[in-house]
Amino acid sequence: MTEKKTVLGLVGSPNPDGLTNQLVTAALDGAQENGATIEKLQMSEYVVDPCQDCLPWTCLQTLECKYNDENFEFLNEKILDCSALILGTPVYWWDTSAMVKYLILKMFRVFAMSGPLNGLPALGLAIAGGSGTGLVSGLKPVYHFFQIMRMRAIDPVPATRFDFDKALSKAMEQGRQIGKMSESRERFDSWEECLLRYDSLRYIGDDNASEIRLVAELAAEAVESERKCDISGDLAHADHLATSGKVLESMTETLKVYQSSAGLFGKQQ
Ligand SMILES: Cc1cc2nc3c(=O)[nH]c(=O)nc-3n(C[C@H](O)[C@H](O)[C@H](O)COP(=O)(O)O)c2cc1C
């Protein structure tokens, strides 16, 4: 009988009880519902040291960092051994947390050229739990990691406090898909095939205007219906401006919607 492998969930936040943890837990619950064995790790307990970019590039051949970094050794063994990866990060200044970035950069240096993770099912989750801005930008480094390592990623879950409950449901739904995919690994036959998969994923190719549009929409949706009339600006008008080529005016209008909605949402809390 073959050993049942594990869907691994990494919580990339210094706060083990925070929103990142909730998202990763929801995704793992979904995977478990679909029959997967799961394991959750708090990255704050295993913070990796920065890659030293040492030369000669020996880890390329040995597949081991030559510096003593027990946390990296522990995490990379877990990742290399799992049947699917769920990686959650808090959004810090439109980016990942530092602990996630350190892991990614070291994984690149040691493993990117040999491709041991080709086809590994992967899901990225990000919580922009403050202003909500950067909800997509924070996911991009995570998906860049998945792409360079040729993992078989599925659509990410960008989350904000405006839509957190919906994001938890979405994380669970994506987790179910990951649970199913974890039963067998489908490797990419070529780099081109891998690149095209990443082009087809939601959000990852979004530009700044789309990202601002998304957070404005989420904030506006979160405003109680009786207060929606107090939202200034109009997303339909912003869209019309964008299609007429007035992209700067469009973004200004979108930001008006975002700022007034975020203000109204804040008063609801
Ligand atoms: C250094 C730093 C930068 C942050 N930058 C952003 C940001 O760009 N956008 C945002 O919405 N929230 C931002 N936040 C808020 C976090 O995303 C929010 O607190 C999130 O809930 C943290 O995840 P956790 O609950 O798992 O700790 C930032 C927080 C810190 C500490």
Residues, the chain, total?
269
pLDDT tens per residue across span 81-139 = 999 999 999 999 999 999 999 999 999 999 999 999 999 999 999 999 999 999 999 99
Question: Is the Cα dihedral 80, 82, 83, 84 positive or negative?
Answer: negative
The owner of tokens 């939601």 is 202
The residue ranges of the chain whose pLDDT is under 50 are: 1-2
Q: Give the residue among 173, 215, 201 at the shortest CA–CA distance from 86.
A: 173
* Closest ligand 1 atom to Cα of 132: 11
Residue nearest to atom 30 of ligand 1 (CA): 92
User: What local confidence, expressed as pLDDT, does residue 92 receive?
Assistant: 98
The ligand 1 atom nearest the CA atom of 160: 11
By the 10 Å C-beta count (0-12 exposed, 13-18 middle, 19+ buried), 159 is classed as buried
Task: Please state whether beta strands 37-42 and 84-90 pair in parallel, antiparallel, or not at all (unpaired).
Answer: unpaired
Query: Is the full-model pTM beyond 0.75?
Result: yes
Of the residues 15, 127, 161, which should be mutated to test ligand 1's pocket, given the most ligand atoms within 8 Å of the CB?
A: 127
- Does 56 sit behind a cis peptide bond, omega within 30 degrees of 0 on the bond before it? yes
Looking at domain 6-206, does it have CATH number 3.40.640.10?
no
User: 268 CA to middle of ligand 1, Å?
Assistant: 20
pLDDT of res. 1: 42
Residue identifier of the C-alpha nearest atom 8 of ligand 1? 93
Intervals of CATH 3.40.50.360 along the chain: 6-206
Sequence-ordered list of residues with C-beta below 8 angstroms from that of 245, at least 6 positions apart, any chain: none
Q: What is the pLDDT of residue 5?
A: 83
CA of 91 to the centre of ligand 1 (A): 5
* pLDDT at site 206: 96
**Pocket lining for ligand 1, CB < 6 angstroms:** 13, 15, 18-21, 90-94, 127-134
Which ligand 1 atom sits nearest the alpha carbon of residue 94?
Answer: 8
